[in-house]
A and B are shown apart, each in its own frame.
Chain A
Amino acid sequence: MDALTAEGLTRRFGEKTALSRLSLALEQGSVFGFLGPNGAGKTTTVKLFTGLLTPTEGSCSVLGLDPRREAEKVHAQCGVLTESARMYPHLSGLENLAFFGALCGLSRAGARERGEELLKRLGLAEAGKLPAGKYSTGMAQRLSLARALLGRPRVLFLDEPTSGLDPESAQAVNAMIGEQAGQEGVTVFLCTHQLRYAQDLCGSYGVIDHGELLALGGLEDLAARAGCRTYAAFRLAEGETLPGFERDGAWLRRAISSEDEMPGLLREAVAAGRCVYEARIEPPTLEDVYFRFVGRGEGGETV
């Protein structure tokens, strides 16, 4: 059974189409990066998957459950972190977790124990007794992540988990997400602007803009479809060149169709008497792929 499915999922707000005919299926245990600019439809998608919004057309499921009709069961299996879901400001961090732990069906002692464990792992052990209203943005986000993880979810929805965070908080949040993503059977649906982080963490991606899914697949597949190439790059002694290579700052670059071409190119450069200081293969990054798709989307072309 797939962890998440969407079939022609559409949501309109009056005249505005926030999400248009989204179709996807994610296997259990997959780590999916959902990428797109602000207002692309990422949050709407998360809200549809978690039952906070009703689809205008189409349907979606989480672990085979309908989020609208079986919201309670879906929420028992999911951890959701969104920017707009806040914690109770008058309760301390630990009291917040104890409360949501009770809603997850944990005993009072169990909720407190689990809350303390998560606070410790997210670097909030000392702040656990402070009212959540006094937390900084980073601390509040870490507390929200702790809340999302309380019930040991099988599916984790993370909507911009590190948006606006200081480096320390972002690191703590990313480390915890990485830990969750590494667990067997845990599916992660990550909406983020942090493309480098997403590239390290995710196995597949969706690129969305103006409510339209522009591309779906693994990085290699997306790169091939976007026409992003792999490059061989050399840094030679000043003034030296190589035939077929283009200069890009201190580097000389040339597109290759396979990594297997690299040893031959390196041998040729050395044989030609070039002083090779550095040589590297530059595969397409998620950033290259993302901007290629979003750029095309903005130009009206769908890939």
Chain B
Amino acid sequence: MKAVRLSAKERAIVRKDLRGIWKTRMVRLTVILVPVLLCFAMPAFYLFLAWMVPETELEGTRELAAMLPAAAEGLSERQLMVVMISRLLGPMFFLMIPLMVSTASAACSFVGERENGTMETLLLAPVSLRQIFRAKVTACLLLSLITELVSLLAFSAVMAAASLLFEVPYYLDWSWAVLILLLSPGVTLFGVTFMVLISGRSKSSMEAMQTSGYLVLPVVLLFVGQLSGAFTLGPGLLLVLSLAVAAADAVLASLASRAFTPEKLLRA
């Protein structure tokens, strides 16, 4: 445990970074709006529609859900809509949120600090580069994980209501366990380290955030790809993906810490 315990100086940087990130309007909007929309408003609206619209008008849902190999037989259209949220949309959102929040906060923490001219001041303080790196990555991870936790609570509340209203089993299963406990944190770290790597090449935090937008695309394709019937994102495949992301994290973290030098940080 000693290796992950932060020193007083690192904790001071984490506190300062969290405050700075929160003060940035763009990041604050990302941290608040994206989870509220994706994990609460959209599923709730979707379920509200399922509840209100006559079942005869939900035939398209069956066709779509039929492509999901996990779609249980004998379920009504309304129940299939709940399954689609829990199997298709929900997991996708729970990878998009950590990715978006981690990249936005890292853009603010790394590129934004250079934009403000405060990175140089920080580098002139009696703190090692390693400590600055650890503290900044920790701040981004912390914010992302808190957002994810709040999102999970909101999503769970909506799905609990869905479970009661439509008489379907509660959404949490082994796939979700792997997703929340392994893949999602892995993706968070990926977002932060990716942003550190591109920070030296980005002229502004906005440019860095736009570049990171490309990372969301594979996530969307991964989940939409299930509809082709070629693969199912079950616990096994999600575990393999988690391991692959963890390996990528290790490589990126190593590259990012090597790229974390005063000259590269102050460049551009």
Measured CB to CB, the residues of A under 8 A from B are 50-54, 71-73, 75-76, 78, 80, 82, 84-91, 99-100, 102-105, 144, 147, 151
Contact = CB atoms under 8 A, between A and B. Distances in A.
Cβ-closest 6 pairs across A and B: A86-B117, A76-B126, A102-B12, A103-B125, A85-B121, A75-B126
B9 A99 contact: no
B124 A86 contact: no
A100 B120 CA distance: 13
Given A75-B127, A103-B9, 4 more contacts: A53-B262, A73-B126, A88-B118, A102-B12
B258 interface: no
Contacts of A71: 123, 128-129, 262
Contact of A105 (B9, B16, B123): B9
B133 to A, nearest CB: 13
Nearest to A157: B124
Q: Is the interface of B mostly helix, strand, loop or mixed?
A: helix
Interface of B: 8-9, 12-13, 16, 19-20, 23, 116-118, 120-121, 123-129, 262-263, 266
B262 A75 contact: no
Nearest to A98: B12
B70 to A, nearest CB: 47
Given A76-B126, A104-B126, A85 B120 contact: yes
Q: Is the interface of A mostly helix, strand, loop or mixed?
A: loop
A71 B23 CA distance: 30
Which of B116, B120, B123, B124 has the most CB atoms of chain A within a 10 A radius of its CB? B124
A91 B20 CA distance: 8
13 contacts: A52-B262, A52-B263, A53-B263, A54-B263, A71-B128, A71-B129, A72-B128, A73-B126, A88-B20, A90-B19, A99-B12, A102-B12, A147-B121
B268 to A, nearest CB: 13
Contacts of B120: 52, 82, 84-86
B6 to A, nearest CB: 13
Given A76-B126, A91-B16, A102 B266 contact: no
Contacts of B126: 72-73, 75-76, 103-105, 151
A54 B126 CA distance: 18
Nearest to A102: B12
B2 to A, nearest CB: 20
Which of B13, B116, B126, B262 has the most CB atoms of chain A within a 10 A radius of its CB? B126
A4 B121 CA distance: 21
B79 to A, nearest CB: 49
Nearest to B121: A85
A87 B118 contact: yes
Contact of A103 (B117, B127, B262, B263): B127
B215 to A, nearest CB: 28
Nearest to B12: A102
Contacts of A100: 121, 125
Nearest to A150: B125
A85 B124 contact: yes
Contact of A102 (B8, B116, B124): B8
Which of A75, A84, A90, A103 has the most CB atoms of chain B within a 10 A radius of its CB? A103
Contacts of A51: 262
Contacts of B118: 85-88
B125 A75 contact: yes
Contact of A52 (B9, B12, B124): B124
A90 B23 contact: yes
B9 A87 contact: no
Contacts of A144: 121
Contacts of A72: 126-128
A84 B8 CA distance: 27
Contacts of B9: 102-103, 105
Contacts of A80: 124
A86 B121 contact: yes
B129 A86 contact: no
B10 to A, nearest CB: 10
A87 B121 contact: yes
Nearest to B124: A80
A223 to B, nearest CB: 35
Contacts of B266: 52
B207 to A, nearest CB: 20
A59 to B, nearest CB: 17
Contacts of B20: 88, 90
A71 to B, nearest CB: 7
B250 to A, nearest CB: 26
Nearest to B119: A85
Nearest to A103: B125
Which of A86, A102, A105 has the most CB atoms of chain B within a 10 A radius of its CB? A102
A103 B14 CA distance: 12
A151 B127 CA distance: 13
Nearest to A144: B121
A84 B124 contact: no
Contacts of B117: 84-86
Contacts of A91: 16, 19
A45 B151 CA distance: 50
A82 B19 CA distance: 25
B16 A99 contact: yes
